[in-house]
């Protein structure tokens, strides 16, 4: 007989079914993601799209351990204090299995230290600081992105080949610019002992007085310039330098300037001939990249930026480590993460057991302009593992656990 | 530097000064008449750039198109300023002093997200000025022709402003209102219209300053906060309300920066000094020196006694022991029923509550507004971190010694600050905060530079989140209770007397300056305690704990809760921290939502949350009686 109680029970069962799905009453695996979305939107909007694409692909292929994947994202406000709080929230309230993400160096380092304290896996997506895997490395933190040191090292071969004596340096005055400069000076000096660094300018991030800086560099009469400016600072520097003739007869090396995030806004003023690291997305023809590019363009009707690749590869790393570990146990995850190999749009990468740095590479080339747009020409891909210091040096820097 | 480079760097400095001057002149004008500390002025500047960019796209890259775009963008920004004045600020002129700051802060949040929505996240590099894209050769060096034009525009605007202020009726009214706006009202001048017109002119200047930058600076979302601090500095260095002073100050700061860059790295007595890195803080150093030497800026005059539109702050009422006890019991009970995250959130709130109460102590009852209160919070946090990490002290000792370090800084900073009053005092506190920030930011070997210090976790017996929450509650609760108790002591009464009537207070034999100095040290130490507890709850600290953003957060908490109430800052700290956390989690454009919520509170409760609720409660009681 159909009583009210029966009806209620039946409805409840139906609701339960629809909630948990027919495939097997499994809840999705939650992964906590935090980033400074509102502070660095130019990089992180494409990054977020990369994440969405990866989640869609993974879940269409059945997820991991027979469960779907869910990314729970939070805005950390670009501030380590807030970042630690949202990380706590992700772990204790959302019950995420582990953490991924972050952009600025100080936030990445704070979350890495927090991960060590809480004994949970953390895959740093974008922070470039060398310290996160070296001087301040710990057992729980891994990093995907090609670091400051690696990107600088990738440019050194070209820089040394030019045999320029007088170098000028300009960098944004914080961790990334400082360590890029330190690495560049050290590496170039090794290859070319007679090199001279004639002027060094360290404008505050986002507040460069480009005219005065360009003039100060020009006054030192350099043969070549090494810059790690990006974003609005880079655009201002390029324009002032061009108007003032700073770059005439001077070779310029600029980290990151080939990334669409920073190259595209320059449009027809993109500085021709500069040596840069970046992402020539339209010209990479490897099957893994073509697959990524097609899927991305189909989904978003837009081309990927470097941030998209980072977001995509971060989620893929998270999924692969779960599959390899076969469990969500932190010790097993950490063990699986060391030496984890996976395919990314930039080819195979490996999270090195020795320092937890991935071997993700980067593209090195020179800027050229076509149809009012900057692009990278004569580019080549440098595998990350060829841009890292020797194991002995790494072991010396990394604290023993 | 050769002679030629000196001349070129001078020109660079003058070109950079042009836009700074325009923005600051607008800010100075608005402040002079309305007494509003307009945080949104930088947002208007940013809108000027974005507006010019879009209009040039629409009108074409011809000289005609470019210059019409610049003028139209400036006028459009003027209209935005009028909207802000009419829709928001006009409704709260009678609110307690500085309350309008809260509203303009909300406007900053809203405009930032609107700009993100309309123009997107990517930097927009504008075109060069048509016809002026080349460089001019001077002494064998090239300088953009457009820069020379900017150098000329500064004095032209100064001249126009001077004519406007001295030769027109509107100018006479503005000057009169700057001196005594109540008198102007009493003489039958429509204040609302005058204020609106001043906002229009001030906003046009900000918009023009922005639009003129488009060939030099990409439109981006960081511009608002990047320029606002500089604009305040210039306004204060020049002397509030003095357009000529703003011009002079803009030139001094623009040129000083250019020369710091031009000088570069020098070696003195074997020490390498990088003047280029000094650009981080040079404007604040100049401001500190100017204010110490000239308490009213370069060309400012002592402010005429202002009959403020709002009533004097009502006397404070001491909190009842019974209610306080209920709260303590409730707070102690939370971890027993709530989830782990609520405990963590409450630990944050408790730290910020002490931070806000200490700020309220100094800006409310003691009458000395601080724009740089994060200095003590941050220095306390750093002291804790460094004592623990570098000096190897036990965590408990570091936690308790840190407030003393923060207090020691307050001894020094306070000594200078109490010699000033009003906005000048507030800006000097900001100068000290920024100087502290830049040292912490630069001193890599000790403070970890931009990375900060990490690995500062509490001792094992305090490591549990609940235990640590109780520790935070004990430390910060004691701090708050102490501050409240002091307010009702003779010392507190003397401070309040000094705020309401310095002359009479001194006449009855109160050593006001000494008392104010002591108050500075007390709140410095307790803000330092808040910072110290905060540092160990996070495990890491970075320069952002000393940044302008942290100081602003403190101000927002105090004003949100109600500066004229005792418990307001605590409520403000709780509501602000909690709402921000909740909103940021659930919405993409969380800044705009946050701004909207603050605006709503501002308009509904011009006395702050606690002040407003109190007034409602009193009215309800009256109706019942």
Write the ipTM. Answer: 0.91
A 243-272 residues with CB < 8 A to B: 243-245, 261, 264-267, 269
Percent of chain B with pLDDT over 70: 98
B589 three-state secondary structure? coil
∠ CA A391-A395-A396, nearest 5°, is: 120
Please check whether residues A251 and A342 belong to one and the same domain: no
Cα–Cα dist A339/B427, whole Å: 54
Provide mean pLDDT across the span B534-562: 92
CA distance B542 to chain A (A): 7
Whether B127 is in a domain gets the answer yes
**Rounded Cα distance, B439 and B252, in Å:** 23
Distance CA B7, CA B17 (A): 15
B342 and B287 in a single domain? The answer is: no
Residue with tokens 């999270």: A351
Q: Taking a contact as any Cβ pair under 8 Å apart, which residues of chain A between 163 and 192 contact chain B?
A: 173-175, 178
Range of the domain at B527: 321-624
Q: Are residues A84 and A96 in the same domain?
A: yes
Is 80 exceeded by the pLDDT of residue B270?
A: no
B54 belongs to a structural domain: yes
Cα of B263 vs its chain's centroid, Å: 30
Helix (H) or strand (E) holding B163: helix B145-167
Q: Cβ atoms within 10 A of the Cβ of B159, count?
A: 10
Q: Does residue B18 sit within a domain?
A: yes
Nearest alpha-carbon partner for B352 in B93, B529, B203, B484: B529
- Specify if B312 maps to a domain: no
The verdict on A128 and A113 lying in the same domain is yes
Confidence (pLDDT) at B500: 86
pTM: 0.92
Task: Report the pLDDT value the prediction gives residue A24, as an integer from 0 to 100.
Answer: 47
Q: Which residue has the tokens 């027109």?
A: B168
Residues B135 and B258 in one domain: yes
Confidence of residue B410 (pLDDT cuts 50, 70, 90): very high
Compute the average pLDDT of residues B12-32.
93
Contact B31, B198 (CB under 8 A): no
Same domain, yes or no, for B286 and B331?
no
Instruction: Give the pLDDT confidence of B354-399 residue by residue, as tens digits.
Output: 999 999 999 988 989 999 999 999 999 999 999 999 889 999 999 9
Q: Is B314 inside any structural domain?
A: no
Q: How far apart are CA A6 and CA A15, in angstroms?
A: 14
What residues of chain B lie within 8 A of the CB of A88, using their CB? 340-341, 344, 465
Domain count for chain A: 2
Of A41, A211, A264, the CB nearest to B221: A41
> Is some CB atom of chain A closer than 8 A to the CB atom of B539?
yes
CA distance B571 to B353: 8
Find which of B227, B451, B552, B580 to mutate to test the A interface (most A CBs within 10 Å of its CB): B451
State the average pLDDT over residues B94-117: 89
Task: Check if A109 contacts B (Cβ < 8 Å).
Answer: yes
Statement: residue B219 has pLDDT above 80: yes
CA distances (Å), origin B428, targets B20, B247, B425, B433: 20, 20, 5, 9
β-pairing, A373-382 with A341-344?
unpaired
Residue B316 falls within a domain, yes or no?
A: no
CA distance B574 to B193: 38
Q: Do A85 and B581 touch (CB under 8 A)?
A: yes
Could you please report the per-residue DSSP string of A64-132? Answer: BTTB-EEEEEEE-TT-HHHHHHHHHHHHHTS--S-EEE--SHHHHHHHHHHHHHHT--EEE-S---GGG
- Chain A residues touching B15 at Cβ < 8 A: 211
A349 and A322 fall within a common domain: yes
Which structure tokens are listed for A42?
């130019």
- Is the CB of residue B349 less than 8 Å from the CB of residue B574? yes
Contact B532, B398 (CB under 8 A): yes
Other C-beta atoms lying within 10 Å of the C-beta of residue B402: 30
Query: What are the angstrom distances between the C-alpha of B544 and each of B294, B345, B379?
Result: 30, 19, 11
DSSP A248-315: TT-EEEEEEEESHHHHGGGGGG--TT-EEEE--TTT---HHHHHHHHHHHHHHSS---HHHHHHHHHH
Q: Is residue A394 part of a domain?
A: no
B526 closest CA partner among B514, B515, B518: B518
**Claim to verify: residue B343 and residue B271 sit in the same structural domain:** no
Q: Are residues B29 and B176 in the same domain?
A: yes
Across the range B106-117, mean pLDDT stands at 94
| Strand-pair partners of A67 | A64
Structural domain boundaries enclosing A270? 149-283+363-387
The answer to whether residue A392 is domain-embedded is no
For residue B605, which phi and psi values (nearest 5 degrees)? -125, 80
Q: Are A367 and A331 in contact (CB under 8 A)?
A: no
The answer on A336 and A354 residing in a single domain is yes
B523 and B397 Cβ atoms separated by less than 8 Å:
no
Q: Is A20 domain-assigned? A: no
Shared domain check, B405 and B281: no
| A347 and A202 in a common domain | no
Any domain includes A11: no
Task: Determine which helix (DSSP H) or strand (DSSP E) holds B541, and give its type and residue range.
Answer: strand B540-541
Are residues B454 and A122 in contact, defined by beta-carbon separation less than 8 angstroms?
no
Task: Answer yes or no: do A236 and A378 share one domain.
Answer: yes
Q: What's the whole-number average pLDDT of chain B?
A: 91
Q: What's residue A18's pLDDT?
A: 46
Residue B395 lies in a domain: yes
- What is the C-alpha separation between A279 and A286, in angstroms, rounded? 13
Question: Which residues from A are below 8 Å from B279, CB to CB?
Answer: 203-204, 207, 209
C-beta neighbour count of A28 within 10 angstroms = 15
Q: What is the reported pLDDT for B153?
A: 94
Encode burial over B213-239: b for 16+ CB neighbours within 10 A, e otherwise.
bbbbbbbbbbbbbbbbbbbbbbbbbbb
Q: How many CB pairs under 8 A join A and B?
A: 207
Candidates B161, B20, B431; CA nearest to A209 is B20
CB contact under 8 A, B142 and A129: no
Model confidence pLDDT, tens digit, residues B507-531: 999 999 999 999 999 999 999 999 9
For residues B251 and B262, what is the distance between their CA atoms, to the nearest angstrom? 16
Q: Does A113 touch chain B (CB under 8 A)?
A: yes
Within this chain, do residues A231 and A367 fall inside the same structural domain, yes or no?
Answer: yes
Query: Does residue B305 register a pLDDT over 70?
Result: no
Quick check: A215 and B12 CB within 8 A?
A: yes
Weakly modelled stretches of chain A, pLDDT under 70? 1-25, 401
Residue at which a domain ends, from B273, B293, B313:
B293
CATH of residue B523's domain is 1.10.3470
CA distances from A222 to A200, A246, A249 (A): 11, 9, 10
- The region of weakest confidence among A158-167, A231-240, B430-439, B603-612 is B603-612
DSSP letter assigned to residue B563:
T
The reply to whether B346 and B286 lie within a common domain is no
Each residue of B125-166: pLDDT tens digit? 999 999 888 889 998 889 999 999 999 999 999 999 999 999
Helix (H, G, I), strand (E, B) or coil at A197: strand
| Rounded Cα distance, B382 and B405, in Å | 9
Domain assignment present for residue B593? The answer is: yes
Is B390 strand, coil or helix?
A: coil
What DSSP string describes B216-275? TS-B-TTHHHHHHHHHHHHHHHH-TT-HHHHHHHHHHHHHHHHHHHHH-EEEETTEEEEH
Residue from B595, B600, B608 nearest B105 by CA:
B595
The domain spanning residue A234 has which CATH number?
3.40.50.2300
Selected residues 333-352 of chain B with any CB under 8 Å from a CB in chain A: 339-341, 344-345, 348
Residue A397 placed within a domain: no
Residue where a domain stops, chosen among B293, B311, B330: B293
pLDDT tens track for B461-494 = 998 889 999 999 999 999 999 999 999 999 999 9
Distance between CA atoms of residues A246 and A234, nearest Å: 14
Over residues A199-239, the pLDDT tens digits come to 999 999 999 999 999 999 999 999 999 999 999 999 999 99
Q: Across-strand partners of A365?
A: A276
Q: How many domains does chain B have?
A: 2
Same domain for B277 and B401, yes or no, is no
Task: Using pLDDT thresholds of 50, 70 and 90, give the confidence band for residue B624.
Answer: confident
Q: Is residue A205 part of a domain?
A: yes
The reply to whether A250 falls in a domain is yes
Q: What is the pLDDT of residue B350?
A: 96
Q: Which residues of B touch A213 (CB under 8 A)?
A: 261
B110 interaction partners in chain A (CB closer than 8 Å): none
B555 and B459 in a common domain? yes
Residues A381 and A268 in one domain: yes
Give dist(CA B36, CA B308) in Å, integer: 12
Contact B261 A264 (CB under 8 A): no
A80 to chain B: which residues are within 8 Å by CB?
A: 452, 538, 540-542, 544
């Amino acid at each position: 007989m159909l009583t009210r109680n029966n009806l209620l029970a039946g409805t409840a069962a139906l609701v339960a079914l629809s909630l948990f799905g027919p495939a097997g009453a499994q809840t999705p695996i939650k992964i906590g993601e935090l980033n400074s979305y509102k502070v660095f939107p130019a990089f992180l909007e494409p990054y977020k799209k990369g994440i969405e694409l990866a989640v869609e692909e993974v879940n269409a292929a059945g997820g991991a351990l027979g469960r779907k994947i869910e990314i729970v994202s939070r805005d950390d406000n670009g501030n380590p204090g807030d970042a630690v709080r949202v990380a706590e929230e992700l772990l204790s309230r959302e019950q995420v299995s582990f953490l991924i993400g972050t952009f600025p160096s100080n936030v990445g380092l704070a979350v890495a230290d927090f991960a060590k304290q809480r004994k949970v896996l953390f895959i740093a997506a974008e922070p470039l600081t060398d310290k996160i895997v070296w001087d301040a490395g710990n057992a729980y933190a891994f990093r995907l992105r090609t670091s400051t040191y690696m990107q600088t090292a990738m440019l050194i071969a070209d820089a040394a080949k030019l045999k320029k004596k007088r170098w000028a340096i300009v960098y944004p005055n914080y961790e990334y610019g400082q360590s890029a400069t330190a690495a560049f000076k050290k590496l170039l000096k090794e290859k070319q002992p007679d090199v001279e660094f004639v002027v060094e300018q360290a404008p505050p991030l986002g507040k460069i007085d480009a005219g005065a800086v360009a003039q100060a560099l020009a006054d030192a009469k350099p043969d070549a310039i090494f810059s790690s400016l990006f974003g609005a600072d880079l655009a201002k520097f390029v324009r002032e330098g061009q108007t003032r003739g700073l770059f005439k007869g001077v070779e310029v090396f600029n980290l990151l300037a080939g990334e669409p995030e920073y190259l595209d806004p320059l449009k027809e003023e993109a500085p021709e001939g500069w040596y840069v690291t970046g992402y020539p997305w339209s010209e990479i023809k490897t099957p893994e990249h073509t697959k990524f590019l097609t899927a991305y363009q189909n989904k978003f009707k837009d081309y990927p930026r470097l941030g998209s690749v980072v977001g995509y590869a971060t989620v893929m790393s998270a999924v692969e480590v779960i599959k390899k570990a076969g469990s969500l146990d932190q010790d097993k995850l950490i063990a699986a993460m060391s030496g984890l190999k996976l395919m990314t749009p930039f080819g195979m990468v490996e999270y090195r057991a020795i320092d937890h740095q991935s071997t993700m590479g980067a593209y090195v080339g020179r800027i050229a302009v076509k149809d009012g747009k900057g692009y990278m020409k004569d580019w080549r891909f440098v595998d990350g593992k060829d841009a890292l210091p020797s194991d002995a040096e790494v072991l010396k820097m990394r604290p023993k656990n | 530097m050769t002679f030629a480079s000196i001349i070129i760097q001078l020109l660079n400095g003058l070109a950079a000064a042009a836009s700074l001057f325009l923005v600051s002149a607008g800010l100075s004008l608005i402040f002079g008449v309305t007494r509003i500390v307009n945080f949104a002025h930088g947002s208007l500047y940013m809108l000027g750039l974005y507006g010019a960019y879009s209009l040039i796209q629409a009108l074409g890259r011809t000289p005609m198109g470019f210059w019409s775009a610049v003028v139209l963008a400036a006028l459009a920004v003027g209209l935005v300023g009028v909207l802000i004045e009419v829709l928001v600020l006009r409704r709260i002129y009678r609110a307690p002093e500085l309350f309008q700051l809260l509203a303009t802060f909300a406007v900053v949040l809203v405009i930032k997200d609107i700009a993100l929505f309309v123009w997107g996240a990517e930097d927009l590099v504008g075109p060069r000025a048509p016809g002026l894209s080349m460089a001019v050769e001077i002494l064998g060096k090239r300088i953009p022709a457009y820069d020379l034009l900017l150098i000329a525009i500064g004095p032209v605007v100064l001249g126009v402003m001077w004519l406007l202020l001295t030769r027109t009726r509107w100018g006479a009214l503005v000057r009169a209102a700057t001196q005594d706006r109540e008198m102007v009202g009493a003489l039958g001048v429509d204040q609302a219209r005058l204020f609106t017109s001043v906002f229009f002119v001030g906003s046009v200047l900000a918009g023009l300053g922005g639009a003129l930058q488009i060939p030099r600076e990409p439109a981006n979302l960081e511009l608002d906060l990047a320029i606002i601090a500089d604009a305040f500095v210039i306004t204060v260095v020049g002397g509030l309300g003095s357009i000529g002073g703003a011009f002079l100050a803009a030139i001094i700061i623009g040129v000083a920066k250019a020369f710091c860059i031009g000088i570069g790295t020098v070696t003195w007595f074997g020490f390498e000094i990088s003047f280029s890195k000094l650009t981080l803080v040079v404007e604040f150093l100049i401001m500190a020196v100017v204010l110490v030497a000239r308490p009213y800026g370069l060309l400012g005059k002592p402010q005429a006694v202002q009959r403020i539109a709002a009533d004097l702050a009502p006397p404070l009422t001491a909190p009842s022991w019974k209610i306080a006890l209920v709260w303590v019991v409730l707070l102690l009970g939370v971890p027993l029923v709530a989830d782990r995250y609520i405990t963590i959130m409450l630990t944050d709130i408790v730290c910020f509550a002490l931070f806000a109460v200490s700020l309220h102590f100094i800006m409310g009852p003691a009458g000395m507004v601080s724009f740089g209160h994060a200095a003590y919070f941050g220095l306390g946090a750093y002291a804790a971190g460094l004592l623990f990490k570098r000096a190897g002290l036990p965590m408990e000792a570091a936690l308790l010694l840190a407030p003393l370090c923060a207090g020691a800084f307050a001894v020094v900073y306070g000594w200078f600050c109490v010699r000033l009053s009003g906005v000048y005092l507030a800006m000097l506190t900001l100068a000290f905060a920024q100087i502290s920030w830049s040292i912490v930011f630069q001193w890599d070997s000790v403070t970890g530079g931009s990375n900060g210090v990490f690995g500062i976790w509490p001792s094992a017996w305090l490591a549990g989140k609940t235990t640590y929450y109780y520790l935070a509650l004990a430390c910060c609760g004691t701090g708050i209770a102490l501050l409240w108790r002091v307010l009702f002591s003779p010392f507190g009464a003397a401070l309040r007397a000094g705020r309401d009537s310095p002359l009479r207070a001194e006449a009855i034999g109160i050593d006001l300056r000494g008392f104010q100095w002591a108050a500075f040290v007390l709140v410095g130490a307790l803000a330092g305690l808040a910072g110290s507890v905060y540092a160990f709850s996070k495990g890491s600290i970075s320069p952002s704990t000393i940044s302008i953003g942290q100081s602003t957060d403190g101000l927002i908490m105090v004003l949100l809760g109600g500066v004229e109430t005792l418990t307001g800052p605590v409520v403000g700290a709780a509501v602000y921290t909690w709402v921000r956390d909740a909103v940021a989690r659930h919405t993409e454009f969380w800044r705009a939502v946050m701004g909207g919520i603050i605006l709503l509170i501002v308009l509904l409760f011009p006395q702050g949350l606690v002040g407003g609720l109190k007034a409602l409660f009193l009215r309800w009681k009256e109706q019942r009686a």
